[in-house]
């Protein structure tokens, strides 16, 4: 099972992830050219770039400053979500063995702390969806499932690293959960990891270049 998950299944997951994102972006681009052609009449690199920058810097936009705690937890969650898989030492050892190159690796202790912080931030975001009526009404059961599926690779990896349970089972669960997440990203709301930049740029075109007003 381990050999299958780290061999053919891994390549299928990566191919689905990359190919799925390309297909989805291409589909949305064609759709937007058909239904929202007016946006392209006001395409502006300056306003698109400004819109993106103002939404990737914590508390830079007015709406973020109105929700300081949520903004903090939101950014902590996403930073850890990206940093842990990319810079975890064990992952980079695998990249080195497979391709002869790797990224900088963070100390295991730091990765450990960031994993706990990520899980705590994920729980906070889940509780917020339940507690805030304006968020709860927009949340479907599938949204909660996606949040759980996002946290599972980190929780299983954390348990496997500390061997809190049967190591082989936890490791297989970690790999399987990670590959399922990769496959789901292009076809669910998790695709916002890429689509966010297009959406913010389009809003910048509309609000800035066309209306002369800021969207942040």
pLDDT of 212: 67
Give 184-191's long-range contacts (Cβ < 8 A, gap of 24+).
184/146, 184/149, 185/17, 185/20, 185/21, 186/16, 186/17, 186/19, 186/20, 186/21, 186/23, 186/24, 187/20, 187/24, 188/142, 188/146, 189/143, 189/146, 190/146, 190/150, 191/21, 191/24
The rounded mean pLDDT for the chain is: 90
The Cα–Cα gap between 124 and 74 comes to: 9
The more confidently predicted of residues 13 and 93 is 13
pLDDT of 182: 96
Q: What is the pTM of this model?
A: 0.88
pLDDT of 140: 94
Q: pLDDT tens, 190-213?
A: 999 999 999 888 888 877 776 766
Q: Which CATH class is domain 2-210?
A: mainly alpha
- Whether the pLDDT of residue 54 is over 70: the answer is yes
């Amino acid at each position: 099972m381990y050999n299958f998950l780290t061999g053919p299944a891994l390549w299928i997951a990566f191919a689905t992830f990359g190919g799925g994102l390309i297909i989805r972006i291409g589909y949305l681009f064609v759709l937007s050219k058909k239904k929202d052609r007016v946006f392209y009449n006001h395409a502006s690199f300056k306003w698109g770039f400004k819109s993106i920058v103002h939404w990737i810097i914590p508390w830079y936009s007015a709406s973020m400053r109105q929700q300081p705690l949520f903004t903090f937890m939101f950014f902590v969650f996403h930073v850890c979500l990206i940093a842990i898989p990319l810079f975890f030492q064990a992952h980079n050892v695998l990249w080195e063995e497979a391709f002869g190159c790797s990224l900088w690796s963070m100390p295991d202790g730091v990765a450990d702390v960031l994993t706990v912080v990520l899980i705590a931030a994920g729980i906070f975001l889940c509780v917020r969806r339940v507690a805030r009526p304006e968020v709860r009404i927009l949340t479907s059961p599938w949204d909660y499932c996606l949040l759980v599926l996002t946290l599972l690779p980190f929780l299983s990896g954390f348990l496997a690293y500390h061997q809190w349970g049967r190591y082989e089972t936890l490791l297989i669960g970690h790999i399987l959960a990670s590959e399922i997440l990769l496959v789901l990203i292009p076809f669910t709301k998790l695709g916002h990891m890429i689509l966010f930049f297009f959406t913010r740029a389009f809003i910048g075109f509309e609000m800035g270049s066309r209306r002369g007003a800021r969207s942040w």
